[in-house]
Amino acid sequence: MKRPIPTLAAYCDLSELPAYWQEQVQKAFSYIKGAAPNDDNTECYLRKEEDKGYTLTVNYFYSDDVPETETLYLDETETESQELDRLIITGIQYSLAHIAEIY
């Protein structure tokens, strides 16, 4: 039997990410003309896995069509790692407090 990989994940606002990673999201979608990614037109899914570190999957809704999606593999500093952990913990705590609302 394959050993399970411990994983923690949560959604967060783009503006909550460390500044460097906000810039990386902007660069990842720079090929799209129009409004830049922001809290209102993105969904950011931050994931931490035991064997892969942090990944950030961003859905960018820039029109009525299907969103563009990019996954970034974060090579964070120690300070950024603590910020990212805090975002995941806050998101998980929020989800647990509202578990009855999840269908």
Per-chain mean pLDDT for the chain: 90
To which H or E segment does residue 1 belong?
Answer: none
Would the pLDDT of 1 be above 90? Answer: no
Q: For 85-92, what is the mean pLDDT?
A: 94
The alpha carbon of residue 54 and the mean position of all alpha carbons in its chain are separated, in whole angstroms, by: 9
Which pLDDT does position 52 carry in this prediction?
Answer: 73
CA distance 99 to 93: 10
Q: Model's pTM, two decimal places?
A: 0.86
Q: Are 74 and 55 in contact (CB under 8 A)?
A: yes
Strands of the 7-12 sheet, one edge to the other: 7-12, 42-49, 53-60, 68-74
- Predicted confidence (pLDDT) per residue in 24-57, tens digit: 999 999 998 888 999 999 999 999 987 778 999 9
Which pLDDT does position 62 carry in this prediction?
Answer: 86
CA distance 91 to 98: 11
